[in-house]
Structure 1
Amino acid sequence: MATAYGIHLGNSSGCLAVFANGAASVLANDAGDRVTPAIVALNGVEWEIGLPAKSGQASSKSIIKHNKRLMNNDFNEDDLTYVESSSSCRIQNDDKLVYEFETSETKLYSNPDNIATKIYAKLYTIASHSVQNEGDLKLVLAAPLNWSSTSRERLVKCAELAGFDVLQVISEPAAALLAYNIEESSEDLNVLVFRLGGSTCAASVVKVSSGFMSVEKNIFRADLGGQCLTKDLADYIAQEFRQRWKLDPHESRRAMAKLLQHADNCKHVLSTLSSAHVFIESLLDGVDWSQNVTRARFENIISSKISAYIEPAKKVIESFDGKITKIVLCGGSMKIPKLQSAIASLLPEAEVLSGINPDEVIAVGCAKQAGMILDLPELSLTDTSTEIEFLGKDIYLKYLDQTVKLFKEGTPQFAQNVCNIDVEKDAKDVSFTLHDDPDNDKFAEEVFNVESLTKPFKLKATLQPTNILLQVE
Structure 2
Amino acid sequence: MASAYGIHLGNSSACLAAYSNGAASVIANDAGDRVTPAIVALNGSEWEIGLAAKSGQALSKVIIKHNKRLMNCDWSEEDFSYVEAASSCRIQNEEKLTYEFETSETTQYSNPDNIATKIYAKLFTIASHSMSNESDLKLVMAAPLYWSNESRDRLVKCAEIAGFDVLQVISEPAAALLAYNVEESAEDINVLIYRLGGSSCDVSIAKVSGGFITVEKNIFRSDLGGQCITKDLADYIAQEVKQKWKLDPQESRRAMQKLLHHADNCKHILSTLSSAHVFIESLMDGVDWSQNISRARFENILSAKLSAYIEPAQTIIDSFEGKIHKIVLCGGSMKIPKLQSAIGNLLPEAEVLSGINPDEVIAMGCAREAGMLLDVPEFNLHDLNTEVEFLGKDIYLKYLDQTVQLFKEGTPPFTQNVCSVEATNDVKDISFTLHEHPESEKFAAETFNIENLNKPFTLKATLQPSNVLLQVE
What is the aligned partner in structure 1 of residue 441 from structure 2?
none
- How much does 1:384 deviate? 5.9
The one-letter code of the counterpart of 2:189 is: L
Cα deviation for residue 387 of structure 1 reads: 2.5
- Structure 1 ranges of 4+ moved more than 4 A: 389-392, 409-413
Query: CA separation in 2, counterparts of 1:232 and 1:225?
Result: 12
AA aligned opposite 2:351: E
Kindly tell me: are residues 412 and 88 of structure 1, through their superposed partners in 2, closer, same or farther at Cα, counting changes over 3 Å?
Answer: farther
Alpha-carbon deviations, 1:27-52, whole Å to 9, x = none? 00001100000000000000000000
Distance in 1, matches of 2:449 and 2:245, equals: 86
Give the distance between the partners of 2:219 and 2:6, measured in 1 at CA: 25
Q: What SS does the aligned partner of 1:323 have?
A: coil
The residue aligned with 2:33 is 33
Structure 1 residue aligned with 2:308: 308
How far residue 181 of structure 1 moved from its aligned partner, in angstroms, is: 0.2
Q: CA deviation at 1:381?
A: 3.6
8 Å contact from structure 1 (residues 194, 328) kept in 2? yes
Q: Where do residues 77-156 of structure 1 align in structure 2 (5 Å cutoff)?
A: 77-156=77-156
Gaps of 5+ in 2: 396-409, 416-445, 451-464, 466-473
How large is the Cα RMSD of the aligned pairs? 2.4
After superposition, the Cα gap between the structure-2 partners of 1:201 and 1:288, relative to the gap in structure 1 and judged at 3 Å, is same
Aligned to 1:336: 336
Give the TM-score taking structure 1 as reference length. 0.83
Q: Which amino acid aligns with 2:289?
A: W
For this pair of structures, how many residues does the alignment match? 410
Q: How does 1:264-283 map to 2 (within 5 A)?
A: 264-283=264-283
Q: Matched residues in 2 for 1:58 and 1:169: separation?
A: 37
Alignment-derived partner of residue 458 in structure 1:
none
* 3-state DSSP of counterpart to 1:31: coil
In structure 2, the CA distance between the partners of 1:412 and 1:262, relative to structure 1 (3 Å rule), is farther
Q: Structure 1 residue 302: deviation in Å?
A: 1.3
Alignment of 1:63-462 (within 5 A): 63-383=63-383, 385-388=385-388, 410-411=411-412
Q: CA deviation at 1:287?
A: 1.1
Identity of aligned residues (%): 78
**In 2, are the aligned partners of 1:325 and 1:351 still within 8 Å (CA)?**
yes
Q: What CA distance in whole angstroms lies between the structure 1 residues aligned with 2:302 and 2:183?
A: 35
Letter matched to residue 290 of structure 2: S
3-state SS of 2:358 partner: coil
Deviation digits for residues 453-472 of structure 1 (CA, Å, limit 9, x no counterpart): xxxxxxxxxxxx9xxxxxxx
**Alpha-carbon distance in 2 for matches of 1:19, 1:391:** 34
CA contact (8 A) 1:38 1:49 kept: yes
Letter in 2 for 1:273: L
Contact 1:149 1:385 in 2 (8 A): no
CA distance change for structure 1 residues 259 and 144 in 2, over 3 Å: closer, same or farther? same
Structure 2 distance, partners of 1:224, 1:97, is 25
Does the residue aligned with 1:378 lie in a helix, a strand or coil? Answer: coil
Q: Which runs of 5+ in 1 are unaligned?
A: 395-408, 416-436, 442-464, 466-473
2:267 and 2:304 map into 1 onto residues whose CA distance is: 17
Partner of 1:328: helix, strand, or coil? strand
Equivalent residues of 1:149, 1:384 under 8 A apart: no
SS at match of 1:360: helix
Aligned residue for 2:158, secondary structure, equals helix
| 1:214 maps to amino acid | T
- Does structure 2 retain, via aligned residues, the 8 Å contact 1:203–1:312? yes
Instruction: State the 1:342 CA deviation.
Output: 0.7
Query: How much has 1:390 moved relative to structure 2?
Result: 7.4
Aligned-pair CA distance for 1:385:
3.2
8 Å contact 1:153–1:384 — kept in the other structure? no
Contact 1:58 1:257 in 2 (8 A): no
What is the distance in 2 between the residues matched to 1:293 and 1:237? Answer: 9
Contact 1:390 1:411 in 2 (8 A): yes
Q: What's the CA shift for 1:389?
A: 6.8
Shift in alpha-carbon separation, 1:383–1:91, aligned structure 2, 3 A: farther
- The answer to which of 32-41 and 58-67 deviates more is 58-67
Contact 1:191–1:205, Cα closer than 8 Å, also in 2 = yes
1:296-325 C-alpha deviation (Å, 9 max, x unpaired): 000101101000011111111011110001
Q: State the shift of 1:379 in Å.
A: 2.3
Secondary structure at the aligned position of 1:74 is classed as coil
Rounded to whole Å, the distance in 1 between the matches of 2:146 and 2:102 is 34
Q: What is the letter of the counterpart of residue 370 of structure 1?
A: A
Aligned to 1:429: none
Amino acid at match of 1:269: I
Partners of 2:136 and 2:102 in 1: CA distance = 37
Query: Which whole-Å CA distance do the structure 2 matches of 1:355 and 1:412 have between them?
Result: 32
Whether the aligned pair in 2 keeps the contact of 1:45 and 1:105 (CA below 8 Å) is yes
- Work out whether residues 189 and 325 of structure 1, in 8 Å CA contact, stay in contact via their aligned partners in 2: yes
After superposition, give the CA deviation of every residue in 1:307-353 in whole Å (9 maximum; x if it has no partner).
Answer: 00111111110111100010000000000111111101110110100
Deviation at 1:283, TM superposition (A): 0.7
The residue identity in structure 1 corresponding to 2:291 is Q
Contact preservation (8 Å) 1:275, 1:292: yes
Larger radius of gyration: 2
Cα distance, 1:391 vs structure 2: 11
- Asked if the contact 1:59–1:254 (Cα under 8 Å) also holds between the matched residues in 2, the reply is no
Partner of 1:57: 57
Within 2, Cα distance between the matches of 1:303 and 1:58? 34
Return the letter of the residue paired with 2:39.
Answer: I
Q: Which residue of 1 aligns with 2:425?
A: none
* Distance in structure 1 (CA, Å) of the matches to 2:246 and 2:255: 14
Q: 1 CA distance for matches of 2:383 and 2:449?
A: 38
Q: Which residue of 2 aligns with 1:42?
A: 42
Amino acid at match of 1:82: Y
Partner of 1:198: helix, strand, or coil? coil
Deviation at 1:244, TM superposition (A): 1.1
For the residues of structure 2 that align with 1:78 and 1:382, how far apart are their CA atoms? 37
